């Protein structure tokens, strides 16, 4: 009688060594989700450091800020505790709709779906809690923006550029458009693996891009 051999999946077997406060993790992820949805609805840009996410919407004269540790969204003298909205069981679209109403954000003439912001958000959704992934804006200009993807404060880093390229610490460069046909989760996994942070997430460059 034959017994099936267990299939080893290094990603599933990976046990994170990152110890983080659950509320801070959820606040960090929710901040990116809200920012990305606001930009989709109103068009704009976002920049971030290890503490704050800054959203510049075309519909507003001043930027919105979100504290990545507490989840507090601020605009001028107004504040919105994102965690309270999330804890009440509301969907992301409901939370964003309430923020738009509360801050009286004018209706946008056009919406936006900047794919790189969606990619950055998906990377945070998947890898912030497990691996401590942080994203920091290094250069921000009309010509080019650079985002650094770093594991914890002192961990290894990789970079994504607004021209649609990515670079890892080994000097390898790729065109992100090669993976645009993939599901968002798989594209994020490929980008994360491309940086070769650890053996549990190998680089996908040797795999067929047609998968």
pLDDT tens-digit series, residues 140-173 = 777 789 999 998 777 899 999 999 999 999 999 9
> Which one is predicted more confidently, 176 or 142?
176
Domain span at residue 148 reads 115-203
Grade residue 9 by pLDDT with cuts at 50, 70 and 90: very low
Q: Is the pLDDT of residue 2 over 60?
A: no
Q: Is 54 helix (H, G, I), strand (E, B) or coil?
A: strand
The verdict on residue 6 lying in a domain is no
Of 68, 84, 76, the C-alpha closest to 104 is 76
Domain membership flag for residue 151: yes
In a domain, 107, yes or no: no
CA distance 58 to 44: 5
Work out the mean pLDDT of the chain and round it to a whole number. 85
Q: Residue 129: what pLDDT?
A: 87
Instruction: Please count the structural domains in the chain.
Output: 2
Query: Does residue 9 lie in a domain region?
Result: no
Residue 84's CB is within 10 A of a number of other CB atoms, namely 12
**Domain presence at residue 134:** yes
Q: pTM (2 decimals)?
A: 0.86
Residue 39 included in any domain: yes
Model confidence at 211, pLDDT cuts 50, 70, 90, reads very low
Residues 59 and 125 in one domain: no
Burial class (CB in 10 A: 0-12, 13-18, 19+), 126: middle
Q: Please check whether residues 61 and 128 belong to one and the same domain.
A: no
Contacts of residue 114, Cβ cutoff 8 Å, sequence gap at least 6? 39
Of the pLDDT bands very low, low, confident and very high (cuts 50, 70, 90), residue 14 is low
Same domain, 59 and 81: yes
For residues 193-203, give the mean pLDDT: 86
On whether both 195 and 123 belong to a single domain, the answer is yes
Please state the length of the chain: 211
Residues 65 and 123 in one domain: no
What pLDDT score does 63 carry? Answer: 96
124 with 170, same domain: the answer is yes
Q: Is residue 136 part of a domain?
A: yes
| Model confidence at 210: pLDDT above 60 | no
Residue 11 within any structural domain of the chain: no
Last residue of a domain, one of 62, 78, 102: 102
Question: Any idea which residue has 């109103």 for tokens?
Answer: 42
91 and 123 inside one domain: no
């Amino acid at each position: 009688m034959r017994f099936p051999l267990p299939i080893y999946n290094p990603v599933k077997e990976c046990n994170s060594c990152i110890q983080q406060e659950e509320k801070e993790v959820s606040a960090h992820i929710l901040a990116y989700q809200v920012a990305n949805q606001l930009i989709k609805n109103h068009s704009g840009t976002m920049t971030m450091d290890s503490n704050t996410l800054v959203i510049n919407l075309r519909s507003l004269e001043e930027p919105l800020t979100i504290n990545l540790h507490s989840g507090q969204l601020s605009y001028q003298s107004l504040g919105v505790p994102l965690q309270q909205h999330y804890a009440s069981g509301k969907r992301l679209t409901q939370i964003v709709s309430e923020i738009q109403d509360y801050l009286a954000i004018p209706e946008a003439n056009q919406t936006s779906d900047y794919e790189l912001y969606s990619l950055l958000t998906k990377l945070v959704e998947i890898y912030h809690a497990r691996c401590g992934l942080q994203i920091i804006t290094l250069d921000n200009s009309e010509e080019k923006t650079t985002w650094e993807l770093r594991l914890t404060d002192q961990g290894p880093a990789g970079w994504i550029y607004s021209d649609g390229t990515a670079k890892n610490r080994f000097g390898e460069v790729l065109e992100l458009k090669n993976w645009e046909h993939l599901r968002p989760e798989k594209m994020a996994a490929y980008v994360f693996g491309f940086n070769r942070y650890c053996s549990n997430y190998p680089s996908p460059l040797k795999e067929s891009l047609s998968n």
